[in-house]
Chain A
């Protein structure tokens, strides 16, 4: 029987994906679980698995096509069976309309600038301003608009020309106190898909989730000694980083403080049974936070190994769908950059994020004496709709306690 392969939805906010390349050709035999194509989303390039065995009979989406989620991109079947004609979804919809007309909202192009990305990126410029800029050989995007909705007007271009004339003028420029300051030249770079996604998520989280913040200093002296010891006996791929210890400590604490492993939904607080921890990975083009899946029960060396693989795949843009579409809690760590305190923005939809600063030798009072200890500051940002400060304090103290008693990392 013919089986349709559709553009998968990888992450709730994905509406379309780009077919980067086909790894199988029509006529190739495929097994369940085979990777047949590479798909690019807002966040990463991912591999497309098939869930049926058979022969790849027909490729519908071509390499480079941007395909809406759910649309058929290929057909699997037996080697000799008849393949149905696949009607592209848009045509299907229009032929349905003939039989069953649906009311359609008439959407006017948004004039107030609150509409589409297209609207946001458009440079508004009046015709006369554009013409004067063209005649003067000015790149219009360098001019800052002062009109309605930021429209670049004649006066803006003329002020820009006056400004650059002043800059290139020989001799001492005369300063007129009433003349406006020359505009600061600038350029506009359209947002990449990743930046667009980051921007959307950050606005979602920062505007809709009221944050509260708690910080605590953790004495990492014991934990660092513990890490040195176990790394002596572990294979390279299983060697534990500070971040791995933070993942483990957080996972253990999240099991007993389940409000921080939760999401607020319309119906109430949704408690997640599994602990999937996102870790922030900085890429050249932006930030991504893939998830380590089901970490609560995993031993530290396994977390270390999976974490290395995850970071490598994130850097190569080859994350698996579940790795960037899931996650119940996030750890963001700028310790490697020598930052003392990182107060994070919650990963949209989650209840909290743990910000990690660097471990530094600092004086600390231990048993009435001042000694030099390895200290690290943790900052918890949490959604005040889901939890309150006292709960946050208990959760954060629990993480501190686990890290300061590193034998607890082995349970």
Chain B
């Protein structure tokens, strides 16, 4: 085990996969000479050369389309979209081509494409550059949606993504690039998709999060334990699709209460999917309605205080828990 930052774990995953499989190559805006907008590809151009680390024009639809074509032709491309906000420009390629081709050809072709993108708000980037669209991608069958919260998981999940025969949307929270954590050195350490992690055990309430909101859950669990004597179980979903509901249900059967936390808007968000499934699968185990703690129903404000107010906080999670007792 080595302690490292999230961005370094991501870079190591790509580097190891490039060493392991020479079909793997990288494409994206500023990923080569500049080393990536979030420094995840630093040093890779020097090591692997411009054939395998390609700087591209600012044309997300074009890059993703090229990635789909390369994947169809037998390569294993990783396309970095600078932030998830720009993925909206490439939605047709992602939703209509990448996610559908395997199905529509009756399995004759595969699209082993890894799409990395940075997500989340909190840095005063305004309404158009602060999206959390994990739930939107999880909506589409045909896509695998990965959203790690810790460096070790990021490395294991990204390496696993390169071995997936069809498209994986790999979403990194901008606030987590600097988070440190233990990362296994074994180059064959993979984290399987559809396996949630139980970060804390507790009997009083289940807190469910993914990506950035996992950290709100663990901080809320600390407050609940220290100030209210409550033991919260914290679950990190790690992948939204496939979704590991059985870990969530097992937990709810112990705690009888659940709070689902996400940065995205509450209305029509992914937390609604989880809470609906809890209701469908564990109705007779519930002692309170499932609560959702999510972003306020507004485009993200630019003002620092308003942005903070629009995002869910650990205090909101604590309040939701206390409200269901």
Which residues from chain B contact A131 at a C-beta distance below 8 Å?
284-285
| Cβ–Cβ contact A127 & B325, under 8 A | no
> In the complex, what's the smallest C-beta–C-beta distance from A131 to chain B, in angstroms?
4
The residue of chain B having its C-beta at the shortest distance from the C-beta of A153 within the complex is B287
Which residues of B (266-325) have their CB < 8 Å from a CB of A?
Answer: 283-288, 323-325
Tell me the bound Cα distance from A147 to B283 in angstroms.
Answer: 17
Tell me the bound Cα distance from A306 to B287 in angstroms.
Answer: 60
| Cβ–Cβ contact A148 & B323, under 8 A | yes
Tell me the bound Cα distance from A126 to B284 in angstroms.
Answer: 8
Tell me the bound Cα distance from A334 to B325 in angstroms.
Answer: 47
Q: Convert A128-152 into 0s and 1s, putting 1 for each residue whose CB lies closer than 8 angstroms to a CB of B.
A: 1111000000000000000110010
| Cβ–Cβ contact B288 & A153, under 8 A | yes
Tell me the bound Cα distance from A128 to B288 in angstroms.
Answer: 9
Which residues of A (103-139) have their CB < 8 Å from a CB of B?
Answer: 126-131
Which residues from chain A contact B283 at a C-beta distance below 8 Å?
127
| Cβ–Cβ contact A128 & B324, under 8 A | no
| Cβ–Cβ contact A128 & B286, under 8 A | yes
Which residues of A (50-79) have their CB < 8 Å from a CB of B?
Answer: none
Top 10 nearest A-B pairs by Cβ distance? A126-B287, A131-B284, A154-B287, A127-B286, A128-B287, A128-B256, A127-B284, A127-B283, A128-B285, A153-B287
The residue of chain A having its C-beta at the shortest distance from the C-beta of B289 within the complex is A126
| Cβ–Cβ contact A147 & B284, under 8 A | no
Which of B284, B286, B324 is A148 in contact with, Cβ under 8 Å? Answer: B324
> In the complex, what's the smallest C-beta–C-beta distance from A128 to chain B, in angstroms?
5
Tell me the bound Cα distance from A128 to B284 in angstroms.
Answer: 5
Which residues from chain B contact A130 at a C-beta distance below 8 Å?
284
> In the complex, what's the smallest C-beta–C-beta distance from B254 to chain A, in angstroms?
11
Of A128, A147, A148, A151, most buried by chain B (CB within 10 Å of CB) is A128
Tell me the bound Cα distance from A147 to B289 in angstroms.
Answer: 12
Tell me the bound Cα distance from A392 to B284 in angstroms.
Answer: 61
Which residues from chain A contact B288 at a C-beta distance below 8 Å?
126, 147-148, 151, 153
Tell me the bound Cα distance from A126 to B282 in angstroms.
Answer: 12
**For this complex, into which size category does the number of interface residues on chain B fall?**
10 to 19
Which residues from chain B contact A128 at a C-beta distance below 8 Å?
256, 284-287
Which of A148, A151, A154 is B256 in contact with, Cβ under 8 Å? Answer: A154
> In the complex, what's the smallest C-beta–C-beta distance from B207 to chain A, in angstroms?
18
Which residues from chain A contact B285 at a C-beta distance below 8 Å?
127-128, 131
> In the complex, what's the smallest C-beta–C-beta distance from B122 to chain A, in angstroms?
32
Tell me the bound Cα distance from A315 to B286 in angstroms.
Answer: 50
> In the complex, what's the smallest C-beta–C-beta distance from A13 to chain B, in angstroms?
35
> In the complex, what's the smallest C-beta–C-beta distance from B23 to chain A, in angstroms?
51
The residue of chain A having its C-beta at the shortest distance from the C-beta of B279 within the complex is A127
> In the complex, what's the smallest C-beta–C-beta distance from A153 to chain B, in angstroms?
5
Of B256, B286, B287, B288, most buried by chain A (CB within 10 Å of CB) is B287
Tell me the bound Cα distance from A131 to B325 in angstroms.
Answer: 18
> In the complex, what's the smallest C-beta–C-beta distance from B315 to chain A, in angstroms?
19
The residue of chain A having its C-beta at the shortest distance from the C-beta of B286 within the complex is A127
> In the complex, what's the smallest C-beta–C-beta distance from A150 to chain B, in angstroms?
13
Which residues from chain A contact B323 at a C-beta distance below 8 Å?
148
Tell me the bound Cα distance from A201 to B301 in angstroms.
Answer: 51
Which residues from chain B contact A153 at a C-beta distance below 8 Å?
287-288
> In the complex, what's the smallest C-beta–C-beta distance from B10 to chain A, in angstroms?
41
The residue of chain B having its C-beta at the shortest distance from the C-beta of A130 within the complex is B284
Which residues from chain B contact A147 at a C-beta distance below 8 Å?
287-288, 325
| Contacts beyond the supplied A127-B286, A131-B284: 19 A-B pairs with Cβ under 8 Å | A126-B256, A126-B286, A126-B287, A127-B284, A127-B285, A127-B287, A128-B284, A129-B287, A130-B284, A131-B285, A147-B287, A147-B325, A148-B288, A148-B323, A148-B324, A151-B288, A153-B287, A153-B288, A154-B287
Which residues from chain A contact B287 at a C-beta distance below 8 Å?
126-129, 147, 153-154
Which residues from chain B contact A148 at a C-beta distance below 8 Å?
288, 323-324
> In the complex, what's the smallest C-beta–C-beta distance from B82 to chain A, in angstroms?
43
29 contacts between A and B (CB under 8 A): A126-B256, A126-B286, A126-B287, A126-B288, A127-B283, A127-B284, A127-B285, A127-B286, A127-B287, A128-B256, A128-B284, A128-B285, A128-B286, A128-B287, A129-B287, A130-B284, A131-B284, A131-B285, A147-B287, A147-B288, A147-B325, A148-B288, A148-B323, A148-B324, A151-B288, A153-B287, A153-B288, A154-B256, A154-B287
Tell me the bound Cα distance from A126 to B252 in angstroms.
Answer: 14
Which residues of B (134-187) have their CB < 8 Å from a CB of A?
Answer: none
The residue of chain A having its C-beta at the shortest distance from the C-beta of B284 within the complex is A131
> In the complex, what's the smallest C-beta–C-beta distance from A147 to chain B, in angstroms?
7
Q: Convert A221-259 into 0s and 1s, putting 1 for each residue whose CB lies closer than 8 angstroms to a CB of B.
A: 000000000000000000000000000000000000000
Which residues from chain A contact B256 at a C-beta distance below 8 Å?
126, 128, 154
Q: Convert B18-59 into 0s and 1s, putting 1 for each residue whose CB lies closer than 8 angstroms to a CB of A.
A: 000000000000000000000000000000000000000000
Tell me the bound Cα distance from A316 to B287 in angstroms.
Answer: 49
Tell me the bound Cα distance from A47 to B306 in angstroms.
Answer: 67
Tell me the bound Cα distance from A129 to B323 in angstroms.
Answer: 18
Q: Convert A151-187 into 0s and 1s, putting 1 for each residue whose CB lies closer than 8 angstroms to a CB of B.
A: 1011000000000000000000000000000000000
Tell me the bound Cα distance from A127 to B286 in angstroms.
Answer: 5
Which residues of B (230-256) have their CB < 8 Å from a CB of A?
Answer: 256
The residue of chain B having its C-beta at the shortest distance from the C-beta of A126 within the complex is B287
> In the complex, what's the smallest C-beta–C-beta distance from B290 to chain A, in angstroms?
11
Which residues from chain A contact B325 at a C-beta distance below 8 Å?
147
Which residues from chain B contact A127 at a C-beta distance below 8 Å?
283-287
The residue of chain A having its C-beta at the shortest distance from the C-beta of B285 within the complex is A128
> In the complex, what's the smallest C-beta–C-beta distance from B160 to chain A, in angstroms?
36
Tell me the bound Cα distance from A154 to B325 in angstroms.
Answer: 10
> In the complex, what's the smallest C-beta–C-beta distance from B234 to chain A, in angstroms?
21
Tell me the bound Cα distance from A8 to B288 in angstroms.
Answer: 46
Tell me the bound Cα distance from A129 to B288 in angstroms.
Answer: 10
Tell me the bound Cα distance from A147 to B325 in angstroms.
Answer: 6
Tell me the bound Cα distance from A126 to B286 in angstroms.
Answer: 6
Which residues from chain A contact B286 at a C-beta distance below 8 Å?
126-128
The residue of chain B having its C-beta at the shortest distance from the C-beta of A125 within the complex is B287
> In the complex, what's the smallest C-beta–C-beta distance from A275 to chain B, in angstroms?
56
> In the complex, what's the smallest C-beta–C-beta distance from A163 to chain B, in angstroms?
19
Which residues from chain A contact B284 at a C-beta distance below 8 Å?
127-128, 130-131
Tell me the bound Cα distance from A85 to B132 in angstroms.
Answer: 61
Tell me the bound Cα distance from A131 to B286 in angstroms.
Answer: 10
Tell me the bound Cα distance from A148 to B257 in angstroms.
Answer: 14
Tell me the bound Cα distance from A131 to B284 in angstroms.
Answer: 6
Which residues of B (92-133) have their CB < 8 Å from a CB of A?
Answer: none
Q: Convert A23-51 into 0s and 1s, putting 1 for each residue whose CB lies closer than 8 angstroms to a CB of B.
A: 00000000000000000000000000000
Tell me the bound Cα distance from A128 to B253 in angstroms.
Answer: 9
Tell me the bound Cα distance from A129 to B286 in angstroms.
Answer: 8
